[in-house]
Chain A
Amino acid sequence: MNMAGHSGHPENGSGGRDGGNVVPPVARQAIKRGQPRWGDAAFRVTTAAFACLVLALVAAMAAVLYDKGYLSVRTFGLGFLWSRDWDPVRGLFGALPAIYGTVVSSLIAIAIATPVALGIAIFLTEMAPAGLARPVGLAIEMLAAIPSIIYGMWGLFVFAPFLAKHVEPVLKKLGGGTPLFEGPPMGIGMLPASLILAVMILPFIASVMRDLFTLVPAMSKESAYGVGATTWEMVRSVVIPQTRTGIIGAIFLGLGRALGETMAVTFVIGNTHQISASILAPGCTIASTLANEFSEAVSDLHVSSLIEMGFVLFLITTVILASAKFLLWRIEARITGK
């Protein structure tokens, strides 16, 4: 967990300052007026080079993944994306089950995590007394600090048996034989993967929403209270409408995280290349397939197919995260009036 994540709006540092351009001109003048300051020039160039390195890194990732996945691109073409084959022996690979599993598990996770995160953010900013909000907020952040693999291990040995015994039979009974709950209640499959993903992204979404809500000017909130609104009416008619774009941004951020989550999912999803209508059935995601098969893939085509899947995951998450960033920037610019 990083500090940008804690504060939720990474523009905080620079955005909160006026006259952010004070230093560079001063520095430039110092260089111009006095004797030539090679030290300054060198320092500036070096730091700029490292800054460019960050850009180069992402460009290199995209390029290298595409290049190493090219064998698969050439062999299967675009059909790779909607083929259901996965047969390393015959050299047939298709990413559809993994793409399906990635998208579906993340969407279910988002559907569960969003309302809860909203509740947590409202609780922490508007409802809880300060003495309670601080420790609860810290505990929620701890949830984000627990490593993915720990969620996975706990999921496999504790949560999966719990689901199989207490939750999935109930779902089957309630579902009454719909294909959604078909199959034996094993505790391994899409449902546990989605639930664990939901818990894992919960703190990220909640933390961004909380920071958004604290940005809403106290004046607007007090105006609502002034005309006699209850806390919930104030939240519904002031806080949420003012931060709507940001809330969507927070959800996208959670989605981006869920799509790429690896270890936790690998433990509980069952790692089967199949598409099933039942959420009790095992499946796979792009990340879990990579974690499972990459170091054991023998043929060049197998490795290349896996890398192409990694490239697809990289593209999807980049687009989702970039949209999240864009939405969050817009809302912050609007609320802080810059």
Chain B
Amino acid sequence: MARSKWLYIRRRIYNALMYVAAFLSALFGLVWLFWILAVLLRKGVPAINWDFFTKLPAPPGTPGGGLANAILGTLMITALATAIGVPAGVMAGTYLAEFGRKSALAKAVRFVADLLVSAPSIVVGVFVYSIVVMPMHGFSGLAGAIALAIIMVPVVVRTTEEILLLVPDSLREAALALGAPYWRVVVQVCYRRALAGMTTGILLAVARVSGETAPLLFTALNSPFWSPSITKPVATLNVTLFNYAMSPYDDWRSLAWGAALLITMGVLVATILARMVVGRIRI
């Protein structure tokens, strides 16, 4: 009797220890999040002021200056990447959900898209360098946008497919029964029904690429000036942050912290927004 009681207590203690271990694991994850966010706020907030958004970078050693050109460059390249990547991704996702479903082609595309989602983004940079920068004989904003678009496509493909599959088949059949051609069913019924979800997927893809730096390093490169054209190097917040953080100048490092705060807040807000929409979708 005493022995079984002891065994029982031992099992309970073991269980309690595992609770503690699991709790500490979760705490471990949270500590990093709050540590990083706290540092970003403490160092980034002082760097952000009106000049930060409106002025060009100052030469090293000169106080003041801002990252207006980099902010505009990031917006431009991200918008261009979205314009290229989203339609392509939505079309491919539509094929998977509406036509391919369980076909061999659809399975292959799904598999490859999942590989691409996790593929190293720097390799995408090297690829775009080889097919765009080399033939055009120069770094360009366009090359950067293409690199980001390639990173967006697989994300958009998979979310579009997942959301479209949530639209019930009975809805498609009802529309078809009214004599609508299938393409109209997809465009006017499925897309409309799935709009919120697809927007979320796009938002997540945009959030993801707006934090990407590696693929821009040797495609869009960087520039201390306003960029006259997308066929020329374009400054982006991320690459500027990289160069400034690695520089020995305090002013530049301070600007880099400001850029870091801006990028992180942008990405986190977009991600949280997307999560909130996802939580509310009931198709």
User: Which residues of A line the B interface, CB within 8 A?
Assistant: 1-7, 10, 12-14, 17, 19-24, 26-27, 30-31, 34, 37, 39-40, 42-44, 46-55, 57-58, 60-61, 64-65, 67-68, 115-120, 122-124, 127-128, 136, 138-143, 145-154, 156-158, 199, 202-203, 206, 230-233, 235, 253, 256-257, 259-263, 267, 287, 290-291, 294-295, 306-307, 310, 313-314, 317-318, 321-322, 325
**Closest residue of B by beta carbon distance from A260:** B120
Cβ contact within 8 Å between A142 and B33:
yes
Query: Which one of B49-57, B60-68, B127-135 contacts A?
Result: B127-135
What 3 A-B pairs are tightest by C-beta distance, nearest first? A260-B120, A119-B25, A147-B211
Bound form: Cα–Cα A34–B15 in Å:
67
For this complex, 5 residue pairs linking A to B, each with C-beta atoms less than 8 Å apart, are: A1-B207, A4-B158, A14-B165, A54-B157, A147-B212
Contact of B15 among A64, A68, A140, A233 (CB under 8 A): A233
Cβ contact within 8 Å between A145 and B29:
no
Contact of B121 among A67, A128, A150, A262 (CB under 8 A): A262
Contacts of B263 in A (CB 8 A): 147, 149-150
Q: Closest CB of chain B to A96's CB: distance in Å?
A: 19
Q: Closest CB of chain A to B38's CB: distance in Å?
A: 10
Given contacts A40-B183, A142-B268, A260-B122, contact A50 B114 (CB under 8 A): no
Which among A40, A58, A140, A232 has the greatest number of chain B C-beta atoms within 10 A? A232
Q: Is B275 interfacial (CB-CB < 8 Å)?
A: yes
Given contacts A23-B172, A31-B182, A39-B183, contact A53 B88 (CB under 8 A): yes
Contact of B126 among A10, A20, A139, A310 (CB under 8 A): A310
Cβ contact within 8 Å between B30 and A136:
yes
Cβ contact within 8 Å between A47 and B117:
no
Q: Mark B94-127, 1 if CB is under 8 A from A, else 0.
A: 1111111110011011111111111111111111
In the complex, chain B residues 64-110 whose Cβ is within 8 Å of any chain A Cβ: 88-89, 91-92, 94-102, 105-106, 108-110
Which among A145, A202, A253, A317 has the greatest number of chain B C-beta atoms within 10 A? A145
Cβ contact within 8 Å between A47 and B99:
yes
Cβ contact within 8 Å between A51 and B105:
yes
Cβ contact within 8 Å between B25 and A13:
no
Q: Closest CB of chain B to A159's CB: distance in Å?
A: 8
Cβ contact within 8 Å between B25 and A123:
yes
Contacts of B105 in A (CB 8 A): 48, 51-52
Contacts of A150 in B (CB 8 A): 36, 40, 211, 260, 263-264
In the complex, chain B residues 250-283 whose Cβ is within 8 Å of any chain A Cβ: 253, 256-257, 260, 263-264, 267-268, 271-272, 275, 278
Cβ contact within 8 Å between B95 and A50:
yes
Cβ contact within 8 Å between A2 and B155:
yes
Bound form: Cα–Cα A204–B150 in Å:
21
**Closest residue of B by beta carbon distance from A195:** B32
Bound form: Cα–Cα A30–B98 in Å:
14
**Closest residue of A by beta carbon distance from B22:** A123
Contacts of B117 in A (CB 8 A): 2, 4-5
Given contacts A46-B91, A122-B22, A149-B213, contact A65 B278 (CB under 8 A): no
Contacts of B205 in A (CB 8 A): 2
Bound form: Cα–Cα A47–B211 in Å:
29
Given contacts A58-B112, A147-B264, contact A154 B119 (CB under 8 A): no
Given contacts A54-B92, A150-B263, A260-B119, contact A47 B98 (CB under 8 A): yes
Contacts of B15 in A (CB 8 A): 230-233
Contact of B114 among A10, A46, A290, A313 (CB under 8 A): A10
Bound form: Cα–Cα A176–B77 in Å:
52
Q: Closest CB of chain B to A154's CB: distance in Å?
A: 5
Q: Closest CB of chain A to B238's CB: distance in Å?
A: 6
Bound form: Cα–Cα A55–B35 in Å:
41
Q: Is B159 interfacial (CB-CB < 8 Å)?
A: yes
Contacts of A44 in B (CB 8 A): 95, 99, 182
Q: Closest CB of chain A to B120's CB: distance in Å?
A: 2
Q: Is B176 interfacial (CB-CB < 8 Å)?
A: yes
Q: Closest CB of chain A to B211's CB: distance in Å?
A: 3
Extra contacts besides A1-B208, A4-B158 (17): CB < 8 Å: A2-B201, A14-B165, A20-B102, A30-B182, A58-B116, A61-B123, A149-B211, A158-B35, A259-B120, A260-B119, A261-B120, A263-B213, A290-B126, A306-B126, A318-B119, A322-B115, A325-B115
